[in-house]
Structure 1
Amino acid sequence: MVRLLLLLIFLATPAAAQDSLRIVLPEGARPVVGEMIRIKIRGEYTGFVALEEMKFPDSPAYDWMQLLPDDWRQERVNGLSRQIFEREIAVFPRQPGNLVIGPVTHHLTKADGAKRSEVAVAAPSVAIPITPYPAPGLPLAARNLKVTDELSGDPARIRDNETIQRRITITAENTMAHFLPPRPDLREKWLISFTSPEIRETRLTEKGPLAYVQWEWSLRPITGEQGTLPPMRFAWFDLAKRELRGAITPPIVFGYGHVGANVGGAAKLPGSWLGIAAVLIGLVFAVVLALRGQGFAGPDWRRWLPNPHGAALRRAAAGTDLMALRRAAQDYAGHARRVGRTVDPVALQRLDRAIFSTEGGDLDRRLFLRDMMRG
């Protein structure tokens, strides 16, 4: 009977308190390469911890950074008081497959009055499957990626020997700066560009890491001809929608402010030639009117005049609104057809694909304008 009573007392007594440490992964996560995985390292300790040291292990399989200062607090666990330790870490996998994190060891110095003891508490490693990044090239998985493209002046009205500054800034939440794309190369035969030092950094905010990069160029045309810097496309994986997206900068058109001075580099015609040209134009109109008076239904004489919608088409091509460009192109094409001139239908089809196609695509506005106006 005494032995049975002792056994019952032993079973009813709580087990000796033990220190524990574990790595906690987010539930239901299916991260892709480059996606931030927010993990927590949690320790539950007895006694009083006077000193501590824990180093998160480096690995060629991931990048990492600590998100918040360590959190120490008292908490009751299973009815017993424990000293709780928590550290939040962001891990960014570099490759697909089974990502192993840990083990992690926390070295503690406990104090019990004047007595001190050294304790090492280990958290076993954990694993999480990583999905391949859903596109070729460098992975960029983020939230709220934003691209701004700023100019110090209007490149369409740039003057000779004038320089314009261009600044592109990209910010992206929940990623690191080295995942952002490299600086684009702005090289054109008609342009000199000077680059300023790149600013690239990872900023820690209340919402997590914020990746930041800024590029700046000084741009100066050198040939006196019109030119266009093509759009830049930055692809990224949207962590909120779990899909690939693209950010596109508008094309930058140089030189529409002084078109007259740029056409073939030709100088102004002398006054005598202008007089001869006026006489010839008058004769042409006289012949056309005479033929029409005799009942000859020749082609519409307006086909030899400039298209009145040409200026609006050039302005729209210099802007960033593709729908405005489409309206101007329709007005231009409608007038051209009414007076018997031809318009390249392929150019209009390329414009519609750029606007309405699900595949998207960049529109070379300089080539589009040339094809529209050559008929």
Structure 2
Amino acid sequence: MTAARLCIPVLVLLTIFGRAGARAEETPLGRFEATVELPKEGPYVGEPLRLRLRSAIHARVATDRIVQPGLTDFDWQQFGVDASSEAFIDGFWMPVHTRTLMIYPLRAGRLTIEPFKWRLAYFSDDGARTEMEMVSEPLTVDVRSRESLGDSDFWLPATSLRVIDRWDPEPDKIPVGEMSKRTVTVEAEGLTADRLPPLPRFRAPGVITFAGPVERQTIVTDQGPIARAVYQWTVRPVSTTPAVAPAIHLRWFDIAARRMRDSSVPERRVAFIDALPAPQSDDAGKSRGFFSPQPLLASLLGFISAGAAAYLAAATETGSGRRSWRRRARTWGLLLTLRVRARRADASGFREALRKLSKAEPERWRRVAARADIASGLAAMDAAIFSREPASSPVALAVLARKITAAFRAAE
């Protein structure tokens, strides 16, 4: 009887420990945690922060998904794809999955990141499918206001920033009647391309600009994202008078140094290549006495000019005369094409004829295009062709063609 009484508690204890052991065997070892990388002084509003979700379990996973809390005080986006690795955790080698989010605080103060949940189904050793859930610890972030950093039109936090300015052709070497393509490339480390500023304003007196589409790209690296934006303009001087393209400034916050910086591209001179003044010697115009080369050179040029005039008069029926008449016929043919394109309201064809005319008669075209009334008409035509917005009124191509034809006749 006494032995039976002693066996009862022993059996109860064995049953309890047996069930606990069975539960321990049924629940696999695992870990799920959320961490956020913070600067020592605390982040500013809008500063990009890297939040990592790290999950690992010593079992064969059937399905899993991460349930994200409502990040009401943060703007966020997933960075790249989940990374897989293997680590020695709690005495076992386990597959580890890491997900990275870029979060951006929306206001100052102490903000809370609620727990994430990892819901998964796994197979036990006997092949049974079991569902379970792991929960991460909540996180708090103390966010500072940007008022101490000064005013800025656009908040641009980055680890580093580079600005590249390219012109094709160079802005002070644009052929008469042609245009130059300006490309400004901005590369910033530590943020995604959608965080880069919009197209900078590029307006200046004496310059016509046509903005192109903005190209954005995010490059994913092990060190973090690299944002790239390409801004494009087509630039044309209004007349032969040189103009100045203003400098472009970008204020940005250096995340590593914790201070505001300014990156800029300098102002550039914009002009047609034929409008640049020719270099003159300091001694030009100084008299050197009776034996100065100026009067001798003038006499020689006068003699050559007289001889050339006599030769041309005699050569009208020769090969050189025929070439001259062919050149004039080509010029008048292009002027006739201008009139035809104008009657058809074909602005693109009109401009193509002008391009050929400027190649055939560069000197005369330079003088013709320098006239204020013609220069304004050319500018209005380019604006109608290349501008994104429709023109408020059609360009009077017929009037412009008559002015150009009359100017060519006067320039002969």
Q: Secondary structure at the match of 1:150?
A: strand
Distance in structure 2 (CA, Å) of the matches to 1:237 and 1:143: 8
User: Structure 1 residues 22 and 260, CA, compared in 2 at 3 Å: closer, same or farther?
Assistant: closer
TM-fit CA distance, 1:253: 0.8
**2:156 paired residue number:** 140
Pair 1:129 & 2:145 matched: no
Rg (Cα) greater in structure: 2
Shift in alpha-carbon separation, 1:233–1:194, aligned structure 2, 3 A? same
Tell me what 1:205 maps to: 221
* 1:243-322 correspondence runs (5 A): 243-255=259-271, 257-258=273-274
Aligned counterpart, 2:345: none
How far residue 46 of structure 1 moved from its aligned partner, in angstroms, is 4.2
Gaps of 5+ in 1: 262-277, 283-375
68, 79, 83: which is aligned to 1:70? 83
* Cα separation, 1, equivalents of 2:38 and 2:200: 38
Please state how far the C-alpha of 1:92 moved relative to its aligned partner. Answer: 2.7
The amino acid across from 2:265 in the alignment is T
How far off its partner does 1:182 sit? Answer: 1.2
Matches of 2:247 and 2:81, distance apart in 1: 39
CA deviations 1:1-26 (Å, max 9, x no partner) are 9999x89xx8xx99946644221233
Deviations 1:258-277 (A, max 9, x none): 5578xxxxxxxxxxxxxxxx
- Write out aligned runs for 1:94-173 (5 A): 94-112=106-124, 113-133=126-146, 134-136=149-151, 137-173=153-189
Question: Pick from 81, 102, 108: which aligns with 1:90?
Answer: 102
Partner of 1:49: 61
Number of residues paired by the alignment? 260
Letter in structure 2 aligned against 1:227: A
> Structure 2 residue aligned with 1:179, among 195, 203, 210?
195
SS for the counterpart of 1:178 is: helix
Q: CA deviation at 1:248?
A: 0.8
- Residue in 2 aligned with 1:326? none
Deviation by residue 1:10-43 (Cα, 9 ceiling, x = unmatched)? 8xx9994664422123366422233332222223
**Counterpart secondary structure, 1:155:** coil
**Is 1:24 aligned to 2:35, yes or no?**
yes
Other structure's SS at 1:124 match: coil
Say if 1:57 and 1:149 are closer, same or farther in 2 by CA, change over 3 A: farther
Please state whether the residue corresponding to 1:184 is helix, strand or coil. Answer: coil
Q: Distance in 2 between matches of 1:35 and 1:245?
A: 15
TM-score by length of structure 1 reads: 0.60
Return structure 1 stretches of 4+ with deviation > 6 angstroms: 1-4
Give percent identity, aligned residues only: 24
Question: Are the counterparts in 1 of residues 67 and 119 from structure 2 also a CA contact under 8 Å?
Answer: no
Kindly indicate whether the alpha-carbon contact (under 8 Å) linking 1:48 and 1:83 is maintained by their aligned counterparts in 2: no
Give the CA deviation at 1:53.
Answer: 1.3
